[in-house]
Structure 1
Amino acid sequence: MEYPAIDPVAIAIGPLVIHWYGLMYLIGFLAAWLLGRQRADYLGLNKKDIGDLIFYGAIGVVVGGRLGYALFYGMEQWLANPFWILQVWDGGMSFHGGLLGVVAAAVIFARKKRLAFLDVADFIAPLVPIGLGAGRLGNFINQELPGRVSDAPWALVFPGLGPEPRHPSALYELFLEGLVLFVVLWWLSSNPVRRGFISGVFLLGYGVFRFAVEFVRLPDAHLGFIAFGWVTMGHLLTLPMILAGAALVYWSRYQLFTSAKEA
């Protein structure tokens, strides 16, 4: 199968150019805002508080995601062109950097509202996967994250990578990190849970899904395999998430229940 020819530019009106990749982020933030409003009572928040939380989180995602990509994957590009880091519309965002940015945003919001950080993190976690899935769709439209050569009937021939069909790894991540993780977290958080449990499941779930997809995803050309002929940067960055998630799920067994409510 040939890779579908999708113009990465969604809207172009004179000098105004809007890329699909940027729209995917907007969709993710909008979805998080709408879903968060449905469960505003979870932490005794009002709808304005939800808007503030999503605003902080959006800044954390963009700043942390771009800085994380520059540090983990694109240091050479950044050093060659300092202004490259501002070109977010061309792709190049790191989930792990974005996660750290969201953690920082949650810390700031929790202190401002005098809430426990883990309560805020548990509230945010189910709101994140829709944005993750939308971001992976943006990667797919940008012809990013190609997979390794495959004979699967759904494998695609990626432009510029030869005639061999490859795994559409961005779509795998869209399904697992976006749809599946959202359904699991939203269902689990619809009932009272112990503090830290939802955050732990998020870290563990994302970590396992991403770690698995790394086996069929082509490593970054300028990095290649980090060790043993199969370990990628994604593996290295994701393994701590799996361990932290498992530890947090175990730790949550001894914590108090939070009062999650359905709207």
Structure 2
Amino acid sequence: MFLSVQPLNPVAIEIFGWPIYWYGLIIMLGGFLGYLLANQEAKRRGLPKDLILDLLIWAVPIAIVSARLYYVLFRLDYYLENPGQIIAIWEGGLAIHGGLIGAVITAIVFAKKRGVSFWKLADITAPSILLGQAIGRWGNFMNQEAHGGEVSRQFLENLMLPEFIINQMYINGAYYHPTFLYESLWSLLGVAILLYLRRVNLRRGELFLTYVIWYSFGRLFIEGLRTDSLMIFDLLRTAQVISIVLIVGAIVLIIYRRKTGQSDIRYLDDEPKKKSKNTKKK
């Protein structure tokens, strides 16, 4: 039976003939909601009012550039033949690991310049980063990319997915694993866990390192389902290698920082005291 399933339009609107893609709008939405979450927590933690916004002004463009460079470097043969496509980020091709590298380096320099603990800043922003990643994956959905191998329609229906997701996973005559959805749900669950762990009062830095472990663990397995993985020497999936390195590195850092006393301060230790309300004298 021939199926005629029309994909969703990747273009949201056109302004004076210029297309505005859902991919970019969804990533912007994820970044904005992440900012609101981080900014609220930063104010509660007693940090300067505009600190998170000032960080984002530097971190976001650098992260986008580094995410694209990372992607291009691992597909260098294609982009050397098609240099005009290097800037076509609206078509996809932003590698999360590349973006994280750029964002972390920016945050380290920023924290040093502003006299703020990088680890405190990283702990505050960790749930926001993961929230942005969870939302951003829906940009891949609109572009019909970052999907897994071929599956049957029945398989997707058994997952109890809504019709619009099933239809969007119909690409060039076949249905595919919605790996974007798997990663988005895994990340959202991670956000909930990180928000809970704030109240557990982990050692400083360990909330961020828990984020690194959580995301990397999920990505390690989900990446194995994907058909568009960046490869190392056509043998190893880059994201899986990086995920393993990050998991091991985060665990080593947790142990090292505990042994050297660098994580003796806990997340809530320097929380500002709430001012008690003065009762009026009768």
Shorter-chain TM-score category?
0.7 to 0.9
User: Which segments of 5 or more consecutive residues in structure 1 lack a partner in the other structure?
Assistant: none
1:195 to 204, 207, 218: 204
- Helix, strand or coil: the match of 1:47? coil
Residue 91 of structure 2 is matched in structure 1 by 90
Matched AA of 2:20: I
Contact 2:43 2:49 (C-alpha < 8 Å) held by counterparts: no
In structure 1, C-alpha distance between the alignment counterparts of 2:108 and 2:49, rounded to whole Å? 19
In structure 2, C-alpha distance between the alignment counterparts of 1:190 and 1:81, rounded to whole Å? 50
2:245 to 223, 240, 252: 240
1:257 paired with 2:261, answer no
TM-score (norm 1): 0.86
Deviations 1:172-214 (A, max 9, x none): 111112x111111122124532122112111110110000112
Matched AA of 1:50: I
- Helix, strand or coil: the match of 2:19? strand
- Helix, strand or coil: the match of 1:12? strand
2:68 to 61, 66, 69: 66
Matched AA of 2:41: R
Aligned-residue CA RMSD in angstroms? 2.6
Contact 2:35 2:53 (C-alpha < 8 Å) held by counterparts: yes
Contact 2:198 2:267 (C-alpha < 8 Å) held by counterparts: no
In structure 2, C-alpha distance between the alignment counterparts of 1:35 and 1:55, rounded to whole Å? 16
Residue 184 of structure 2 is matched in structure 1 by 174
Matched AA of 1:195: R
1:47 paired with 2:49, answer yes
Range with greater deviation from structure 2 (243-252 or 17-26): 243-252
Q: 1:258 to 1:24 in 2, by over 3 A?
A: same
Contact 1:126 1:182 (C-alpha < 8 Å) held by counterparts: yes
- How much does 1:51 deviate? 0.8
In structure 1, C-alpha distance between the alignment counterparts of 2:191 and 2:84, rounded to whole Å? 35
In structure 2, C-alpha distance between the alignment counterparts of 1:31 and 1:236, rounded to whole Å? 30
Percent identity, aligned pairs only, is 31
Residue 104 of structure 1 is matched in structure 2 by 105
Contact 2:68 2:94 (C-alpha < 8 Å) held by counterparts: yes
Contact 2:146 2:226 (C-alpha < 8 Å) held by counterparts: yes
Matched AA of 2:117: A
Residue 278 of structure 2 is matched in structure 1 by none
In structure 1, C-alpha distance between the alignment counterparts of 2:109 and 2:233, rounded to whole Å? 37
Q: Is the radius of gyration larger for structure 1 or structure 2?
A: 2
TM-score (norm 2): 0.81
Aligned residue pairs, count: 255
User: Which segments of 5 or more consecutive residues in structure 2 lack a partner in the other structure?
Assistant: 158-165, 275-282
